[in-house]
Amino acid sequence: MLTVLWAARPDRWPAWEAPLERELAGLARIVHEAPEPEAIDAIIYAPNARFSDFSPYTRAGLVQSLWAGVERIVGNGTLTQPLARMVDPGLTDGMVEYCLGWAMRFHLGMDRYAQDGAWRNALIPPLARERRVTVLGAGALGAPVARRLAQVGFDTAVWSASGREVEGLTVIGGEKGLPEALGRAEILVTLLPDTPETRDLLDSHRLAMLPAGAAIVNPGRGTLIEDAALIAALDSGQVGHAVLDVFRTEPLPPGHAFWSHPRVFVTPHIAAETRPSSAAAVVAENLRRLRDGRPFLHLVDRTRGY
């Protein structure tokens, strides 16, 4: 039986208790304190917990994060244990629905038909197959989001660092492919991690590569887009609308220009949440792999930062 330390926030435990007890039966027992840290086999962690020193946990063979994003932990020098991030079917479904909903809103131009008394019956939206959408990022979230957009009919492409093939999707790869990926993006979805390479990726130069009036959906990370460049692009009409779920500072500070911009929609980092009902099985699978000495799922490559 493995001994696993709960190092996520205590107030999250009630939501996880029953799903984890169900999935870990006979495999692991969860403890909330570790008077003998060297007796701990694995750590369940979340970056918003008050837990930062992994060094006493000399026997721990796995740190399983409950979050998908790892930018707050990859640089932790005390973390020498393998780090797995959360890839949860429930979280993925949430992200797919969030991106699809906003893409449809911008595609159909729902905001053009506001209740202002104007009968704009010349504004007929194109069909999805006539609309080009690019998803930046082709990972655990970017790929399923792109697949669903393509199923709806959008002319969809994904862009990733490696450009590795993703079944059923048009992939554009690497730095050189970015102008092509952006140049086709009437709707742009950004699902990249926060790393030194992706920080400020969408600056004024890159935003100018988008088709005029493009819509941006950013549930990736706030650092991907330069705030001032985005505001300027919105003001000039280069960017038509932006829906932003993630920000450089969260909660988004009162008075930030995003709050009051008429073509910015702020959502409070709710695009996709880890769902204990499905994610507990993911935790259990990695603990089973620890017990059996098999390779872990969703390991983070700390040299790449994601």
Q: Which is nearer to ligand NAP, 30 or 68 (CB)?
A: 68
In this structure, the number of other CB atoms found within 10 A of the CB of residue 228 comes to 11
Between strands 239-244 and 264-266, the pairing is parallel
CA 197, CA 232: separation in Å to the nearest integer? 23
Amino acid at position 293, single letter: G
Among 139, 222, 240, 276, binds ligand NAP (CB under 6 A): 139
Q: Which of these, 54, 12, 75, 114, lies nearest to 300 by C-alpha position?
A: 75
- Give me the catalytic one of 248, 269, 288, 289: 269
Of all residues in this chain, which one has the CB nearest to ligand NAP in the complex?
A: 139
Contact flag: residue 202 with ligand NAP (CB under 6 A): no
String of contacts with ligand NAP for each residue 155-174, x by CB under 6 A: -----xxx-x----------
Contact flag: residue 245 with ligand NAP (CB under 6 A): yes
Q: Which is nearer to ligand NAP, 32 or 164 (CB)?
A: 164
Binding part of the chain for ligand NAP, among 6-14, 131-139, 229-237, 288-296 by CB under 6 A, reads: 131-139
β-bridge mates for residue 53, sequence order: none
CA distances from 100 to 107, 187, 234, 243, 296 (A): 10, 11, 22, 12, 31
Say if residues 306 and 193 touch (Cβ distance below 8 Å): yes
Residues engaged in binding ligand NAP (CB under 6 A) = 68-69, 91, 137-142, 160-162, 164, 191-195, 197-198, 219-221, 245-246, 269, 271-272, 306
Q: Which residues are catalytic?
A: 221, 269
